[in-house]
Amino acid sequence: MSERSRPSIFWLFAAIALPLAGIITKFTFIGRDKMPRTGPIIITPNHFTNIDPVMVGVGVWYLGRAPRFLAKASIMRIPVLGWLLHLSGQIPVERGGSTRSSAALKAARELVNKGRSVIIYPEGSLTRDPDMWPMRGKSG
């Protein structure tokens, strides 16, 4: 089952993010033709800057899909922003290996099983140390 329509809250995000992205940066999505427009997909971009989620979200949106991120739970506690993120189906991740953090993986698995897109930053946060670039997986 693929995601044929995007929830209405994403139209609000798109109305803000798309013009903003076009104003503050020039971007080109390379390999866009390799990303499926339907069916399950897990996207694992690197996290270099605070604007990365916006740009990745824009790219996924242009594919006709609703971007859903695993995001640190503290972001979900920011007034208004947290409410919007929760309303749009973003998945909070509690850090520290708690039982609550496994709930995020369960939620992501459910989305993938429904043919949705899930975006996970493997680093878990911004990586500003150039010695860590390009990112390399060390486990799994």
Domain contains 70: yes
Domain contains 34: no
From 113, 126, 112, 117, select the one nearest 62 (Cα to Cα): 117
For residues 95 and 124, is the Cβ–Cβ distance under 8 A? yes
pLDDT at residue 2 in the model: 42
Tokens encoding 24: 């503050």
Domain contains 136: no
What DSSP designation does 96 have? S
How many structural domains compose the chain?
A: 1
CB-based contacts of 17, cutoff 8 Å, min separation 6? 54, 57, 58, 61
Q: What is the pLDDT of residues 26-82, one digit of tens each?
A: 777 788 788 888 899 999 888 877 878 888 888 888 888 888 999 889 989 999 889
Q: What is the pLDDT of residues 119-135, one digit of tens each?
A: 998 777 776 666 666 65
Domain contains 140: no
For residues 49 and 123, is the Cβ–Cβ distance under 8 A? no
Domain contains 99: yes
Q: What is the pTM of this model?
A: 0.78
Domain contains 2: no
From 63, 59, 34, 49, select the one nearest 121 (Cα to Cα): 49
Is the pLDDT assigned to residue 97 strictly greater than 70? no
Determine the structural domain holding residue 78 and report its residue range.
15-24+39-127
pLDDT band, residue 109 (cuts 50/70/90) = very high
Domain contains 109: yes
Domain contains 59: yes
Residue range 93-111: mean pLDDT, rounded: 83
